Amino acid sequence: MAARPEIGAASLSVTDAMVEELARRGVTHMFGVPGGECNLDFIAAADRAGVRFVLTRTETSASIMACVAGELTGASGVAMTTRGPGLCAAANGVAYADLDRAALLLIADGYEDDQAYISHQRIDQGAVLAPMLRAQSDLRSGDALGELDRLLAAASEQPPGPAYLEVAGSRIRRPAADARSVAATHSRPALDLDALEQARTLLGEARRPVVVAGLQARRPEAAAALNRFVAATGCPVLTTYKAKGVVSERTPLGLGLYANGLPEAPLLTAADLIILYGFDPVEGPPSPWRYGGTPTLELSEHAHAHSLLDPELLLVADIARTLDSLADALPVRAWTAAELAAAKDRLWTAARTPASEGIAPSQLVDAARAAFPPETRITIDAGAHMLPVLHLWQSGEANQSLISRGLSTMGFALPAAIAASLVDPARPTVAFTGDGGIMMCLGELGTAIQYGATPIVIVFNDSSLTLIGAKQKRRQLAAAGVDFSDTDFAAVAAGFGWWTRRVTDAGDLAAAFADAQAAGRAALIDVVINPAQYEGQILAIRG
């Protein structure tokens, strides 16, 4: 690694100063596919600053990896692309940052002011991304570190999301000013004391309350506050997909998932107060709120552009502090242990629908759950396979289960698992993906090998877009446009240098999982499944 320049040194460029600032704020990795312009300056500056640049195979994966790295480290994710096609290809990952509420700084090449004659690869890049952005800058103001500070502050405000930095050589290669940016302090709205008293009254009248925790609850302080509340009150908790594990699903009061589906309906119908804690309607399924007759108290860090419901009371403030101030207002619960145990059993058995011949999706998840240690972090792609994974795999803490829910993009699980393995290499990482999802990012198998990431990828291979096929069948349409030709993903991954195995018999799953863990390197298990169980699972979970 090259010698690291000192902040304030006369030779320090704007690029070096910005990357040094990112490193100071906790950024450990940058992800991207460079072009031949300013991207190269940032790669060199990252090397000098001790920030690892990861060359991904696609820009979409780069922005997803950056988001996941940020979600796990607490710093903003940083991705970098070239102009034109590079930036456009990153847009899906930028959409993930927007709708899955992840702080992201995307850096891309622009043009010099004296290059107005160039039309090659020229699009209005800021306009392409603008509907998703929290802020953008082209550094023309001259205060590079001030602009960086503004972008990072905007990206981390509630709700977090993407910011865009467009750069040109004349603006980043000049000497940096001696003054460095100071991280902004973010204050959430002050709590309305009258509203707090109204909340205490609602809680005081409740005998059968239920918490539904959403993605805002993943923040360490918010998760800790929720666990204190549960310990003090005995209140049961359901979580959204993004919040899975914020209260351990291995405990009696960590009941399982809220998906606006059938298994949780008896519990929520019997409740006399629903406490929405950090719930963001971006996670909600595209169907109306089912529990309008039950009083609802909502604690959120921001107002919502598209509200799923009209709660009796909405408190917009720091949700952790708010919940801490309410714990003593809740009387002893009237729920019995038997009622809660029955509710939990409904939630965890819904995915166990009858199976036919071959390897059923639930068999695959059960075998994986038995094989991997409880601290394993999982990543989950969009598709039919996510239902048995989410509803059978137990997570014990926040961010132990990673999924795209707001955007629900396919092609998430593999890049997310690579990023998780790179930033937290001591923790086992397992990706659950369908054949459709992994085909969207197969090139990233090479990224994992190149940078020493060691995830274990499990492919639910049924040669189909099964979830879409189920919708097609429901509409009584002819089967068309949803099936793939067969692919041997084990053979493909072996070509990249992965340890691989193809499994066609359920009796071979345990040995495959054991051997994958013993391999000590990136491993992929291609499991040929019978998708027949999915239809019953969809009906049992979603109705």
Q: What is the DSSP letter of 76?
A: P
pLDDT at 184: 57
pLDDT in tens, 493-502: 999 999 999 9
> What's the predicted TM-score (pTM) here?
0.93
pLDDT above 70 for 374: yes
Residue 4's pLDDT band (cuts 50, 70, 90): very low
pLDDT at 526: 97
Tokens linked to 176: 């940096």
Cα gap 78→29, rounded to integer Å: 7
Over residues 156-178, the mean pLDDT reads 90
pLDDT above 60 for 182: no
Residue 414's pLDDT band (cuts 50, 70, 90): very high
Over residues 407-424, the mean pLDDT reads 97
* CB-count exposure of residue 324 (10 Å: 0-12, 13-18, 19+): middle
Cα gap 329→199, rounded to integer Å: 9
* CB-count exposure of residue 177 (10 Å: 0-12, 13-18, 19+): middle
Cα gap 213→276, rounded to integer Å: 6
pLDDT at 297: 97
Kindly list the structural domains of the chain, giving each domain's residue range(s) and its CATH number in brackets, ordered by start.
14-172 (3.40.50.970), 193-348 (3.40.50.1220), 351-542 (3.40.50.970)
- What amino acid is encoded at 38 in this protein? C
Give me the phi and psi of 254, to 5 degrees please: -85, 85
The per-residue b/e assignment along 470-501, b for 16 or more CB within 10 angstroms, e otherwise, is bebeeeeeeeeebeeeebebbebbbebebbbb
Q: Residues 514, 522, 415, CA angle at the centre, nearest 5°?
A: 125
pLDDT above 80 for 114: no
pLDDT at 396: 97
Task: Kindly report the length of the chain.
Answer: 543
Contact 35, 109 (CB under 8 A): yes
The per-residue b/e assignment along 420-452, b for 16 or more CB within 10 angstroms, e otherwise, is bbbbeeeebbbbbbbbbbbbbbbebbbbbbebe
**H or E stretch covering 379:** strand 377-380
- Report helix angle 532-542 to 466-474, nearest 10: 70
pLDDT in tens, 442-479: 999 999 999 999 999 999 998 776 777 777 777 888 87
Cα gap 274→269, rounded to integer Å: 10
pLDDT at 111: 81
Cα gap 108→83, rounded to integer Å: 6
pLDDT in tens, 376-404: 999 999 998 999 999 999 999 999 999 99
Cα gap 82→65, rounded to integer Å: 17
pLDDT at 189: 75
CA distances from 65 to 52, 119, 266, 421 (A): 13, 31, 38, 10
pLDDT above 90 for 419: yes
Residue 142's pLDDT band (cuts 50, 70, 90): confident
Contact 482, 468 (CB under 8 A): yes
Over residues 258-286, the mean pLDDT reads 93
Cα gap 524→515, rounded to integer Å: 11
Residue 6's pLDDT band (cuts 50, 70, 90): very low
The per-residue b/e assignment along 185-219, b for 16 or more CB within 10 angstroms, e otherwise, is eeebeebeeeebeebeebbeebebbbbbbbbbbbb
Average of per-residue pLDDT values in the chain: 92
pLDDT at 185: 57
pLDDT in tens, 44-103: 999 999 999 999 999 999 999 999 999 999 999 999 999 999 999 999 999 999 999 999
